Structure 1
């Protein structure tokens, strides 16, 4: 926009100052308005009641609105997702968070959510059914960090890790361990299961880990002596089975020899490893055996989930926050300690 001075009196004053007639150019300033759209997180939970823990975490991370939808199944996804995205402008701050105890259904839900996103309405997708992705990532990252920085074990490739449990946390921990080159054993301790199940599961998670990962071996060990046998030559032991189930008693732990790093995610007694307490953070619980308890891991897990949710509030377009991403976040948080 250009304005030429026409008033003789004003023009004379300007000329006396500048020594010549002046053309004043006024350039319009375009003010970019800040996007004030609410940050909305749709929380798809497979359980009867959506997890208050995850809902609170999403609010604390910066979402303005969290919409919990319980009893979620994969067949409901397309309509709900497209209703959510088409009712907002493209690149509006919208995210989908998949949780719940039914991990298999959760995986199907996550896949359907990603498939249901349409350009230019893509959104971030967070996958953490019952905290399994962030918990497993915390277990593996914390173990690797402590092995290197506290126990001065620079290279863990080929070292034996025994994982007690066959649930979602154990499965993801096995995949991450195999990707890191550890000699990985996935041990089913439930006496109602069988050897065929755990061997098939080990094969399945080995395939998911990828061709550059080590093979994951499946072991059926319902008896305590069998559990001891598989653990006696391991450097790392992770108790990731169901809460309230003792995996290794004190008499078995006392028989173990050599240095071992032992993790137990159970917060409620009886603990998976007798002698570990939730507050333990690399404390020597038996000679040469160092324990990491649920609270030490819980802080890292919660901080990792918080960082992922914060990142999701700022993300536009499709981005998947799964166990691979959670593992990188956990490692980054530990590196800042």
Structure 2
């Protein structure tokens, strides 16, 4: 009798994301079990319950998924899960809080591909400004882009204080430099747009972040991309299915949320499938998601 593929899903929140549950089951897991309200201190016990309940050769058929809405907390839980292993008792671990790792990976991979195809350049030294970077997707996007050598600025819609703390957290944890800027007024957003080559908006759905007026002032802009599929668009005039087409009122090209979402979906589903199909246990974080997104992005 074939051994069941079981996924234990941990989140510090009151509910596990239905999105992630559906993705895991559709990817092929036989059973998905959510655990909510989980703190870092509880991860070891839960993981060890999972590893010791099956023989060592069943570790490859057992997975731990870490959700939530906080990048640093998810990575702390991810580290705790890996440290809880007692070889040869081990299981696979995949972290993707609020889909931020796979969404950010998809966004940066699509931007990287567009830079190569349209402008014959890489992420390195490209000036990127992220609006909505206090959220999980913006946070992770900033980390991935900065690790690839981009000159990243994160703009705060409510002033500089919160994004400054985010920039300091990124510097302390990931050892990359990210600049913080005040994006609280239309004039400040326009000034930031004038200085950047890539605009990324990762704000919550249904919020227009950048207007056509601000875009028209961005003479050096190469790419504008948005992850918000809920009207109105985060970037005015950007079609949801834009995939490198010219962006109205600019010399830049646009990448819409459906184009990014298509890659994000394939990355999350693909990583779940890799957990199931692996010959030995695997661990996936945002860097693994980005590597996979690079393979998929066109």
Q: Which runs of 5+ in 1 are unaligned?
A: 1-34
Q: Is 1:162–2:162 an aligned residue pair?
A: no
Rg bigger for which structure?
1
Q: CA deviation at 1:218?
A: 0.9
The CA deviation string for residues 252-284 of structure 1, in whole angstroms up to 9 with x for no partner, is 222322442000111112221111121221222
Specify whether residues 105 and 156 from structure 1 end up closer, same or farther in structure 2 by C-alpha distance, changes over 3 A only.
Answer: closer
Q: Deviations over 1:200-245 (max 9, x none)?
A: 32132134343xx5x2111122112111111212111100122222
Kindly tell me: are residues 91 and 220 of structure 1, through their superposed partners in 2, closer, same or farther at Cα, counting changes over 3 Å?
farther
**Structure 2: how far apart are the matches of 1:301 and 1:91?**
31
From 297, 305, 308, the equivalent of 2:260 is: 297
Structure 2 vs 1, CA of residues 254 and 168 (structure 1 numbering), >3 Å: closer, same or farther?
same
Secondary structure at the residue paired with 1:232? helix
Q: Distance in 2 between matches of 1:158 and 1:182?
A: 5
Aligned positions of 1:268-307 closer than 5 A: 268-286=230-248, 287-307=250-270
Partner of 1:225: 187
Instruction: Report whether the alignment pairs 1:312 with 2:279.
Output: no
Q: Verify the 8 A CA contact 1:78 1:113 in the aligned structure 2.
A: yes
Instruction: Tell me how far apart the structure 2 counterparts of residues 209 and 80 of structure 1 sit (CA, whole Å).
Output: 27
The count of corresponding residues between Structure 1 and Structure 2 is 294
Contact (CA 8 Å) 2:71, 2:140: kept in 1 or not?
Answer: no
1:204 lines up with 2:169 in the alignment: yes
Alpha-carbon distance in 2 for matches of 1:236, 1:195: 20
Q: CA deviation at 1:132?
A: 0.3
Q: How far is 1:318 from its partner?
A: 4.9
Is 2:241–2:256's contact at 8 Å kept on the other side of the alignment?
yes
Supply the distance in 1 between the matched residues of 2:197 and 2:33 (Cα, whole angstroms).
Answer: 44
TM-score, normalised to structure 2, is 0.92
Cα distance in 1 for residues equivalent to 2:271 and 2:50 = 21
1:180 matches 2:180: no
Q: Tell me if structure 1 keeps the 8 A contact 2:43–2:80.
A: yes
**How far off is 1:183 after superposition?**
1.2
Name the SS for the 2:229 alignment partner: coil
Aligned to 2:79: 111
CA distance change for structure 1 residues 196 and 52 in 2, over 3 Å: closer, same or farther?
closer
Is 1:328 the counterpart of 2:296? The answer is no
> What's the CA shift string for 1:100-146, capped at 9, x where partnerless?
22444333322222222211111111000010000000011100011
In the alignment, structure 2 segments of 5+ residues that lack a partner are none
For the 8 Å contact 1:224–1:247, the answer to whether it is kept is no
Cross-structure match for 1:26: none
Q: 1:195 to 1:184 in 2, by over 3 A?
A: same
Q: Does structure 1 residue 266 correspond to structure 2 residue 228?
A: yes
What TM-score does the superposition give when structure 1 sets the normalisation length?
A: 0.82
Q: Please name the residue that 2:66 is paired with.
A: 98
Task: Name the CA distance, whole Å, in 1 between partners of 2:112 and 2:172.
Answer: 23
Deviation of 1:249 (Å)? 1.5
Q: Which consecutive aligned stretches of 4+ in structure 1 deviate over 6 angstroms post-superposition?
A: none
Q: Secondary structure at the match of 1:288?
A: coil
Aligned to 1:18: none
SS in 1 for 2:232: coil
